[in-house]
């Protein structure tokens, strides 16, 4: 049984994607994840990713559409959350220097916002070109 989110909660999205990820595919992944986990309608306070994706148009567009900032973290900052990841990818580590972008970015952002003991509300969900993870934050 999945717990319903508190009415005074907001979402922190951690997102990873391939270069040139399509806006529509990223939006579809977000819609699918929010619907599947009963999170649609909750405000999004941040979209977080790895620094090497800061210029990715689909990520910038997603943050703009949601009306929140796109915040980036270095691989070293994401590595600090390795133990909290639901899975660790050696392939991702070879490409980025961290074991998980979406989950690590969501956890790093939550920590930066002062969320005590942040936990993944939604573990890594994937489409062909993107990954998404969610942490809840109090509003």
Task: Catalogue all structural domains in the chain, each as residue range(s) with its CATH number.
Answer: 18-138 (3.30.420.180)
For 97-121, write each residue's pLDDT tens digit: 998 999 999 999 999 999 988 999 9
25-46 pLDDT per residue, tens: 999 999 999 999 999 999 999 9
Strands across the sheet containing 9-17: 70-73, 44-50, 9-17, 130-138, 120-126
Count, residues in the chain: 139
8 pLDDT tier (thresholds 50, 70, 90): confident
Name, in order, each residue with C-beta under 8 angstroms of 47's C-beta and a sequence gap of 6 or more. 13, 15, 59, 62, 63, 66, 68, 69, 70, 71
- Overall pTM > 0.75: yes
CA 43 to CA 96: how far, in whole Å? 29
Percent of the chain with pLDDT over 90: 87
DSSP 100: -
* 125, containing H or E segment: strand 120-126
């Amino acid at each position: 049984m999945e717990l319903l989110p508190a009415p005074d909660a907001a979402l922190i999205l951690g997102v990873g994607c391939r270069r040139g990820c399509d806006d529509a595919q990223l939006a579809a992944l977000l819609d699918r994840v929010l619907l599947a986990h009963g999170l649609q309608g909750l405000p999004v306070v941040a979209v977080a990713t790895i620094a090497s994706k800061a210029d990715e148009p689909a990520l910038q567009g997603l943050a703009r559409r949601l009306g929140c900032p796109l915040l980036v973290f270095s691989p070293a900052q994401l590595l600090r959350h390795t133990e909290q990841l639901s899975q660790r990818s050696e392939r991702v580590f070879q490409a980025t220097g961290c074991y998980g972008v979406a989950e690590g970015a969501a956890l790093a952002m939550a920590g930066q916002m002062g969320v005590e003991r942040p936990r993944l509300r939604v573990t890594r969900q994937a489409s062909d070109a993107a990954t998404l993870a969610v942490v809840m934050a109090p509003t």
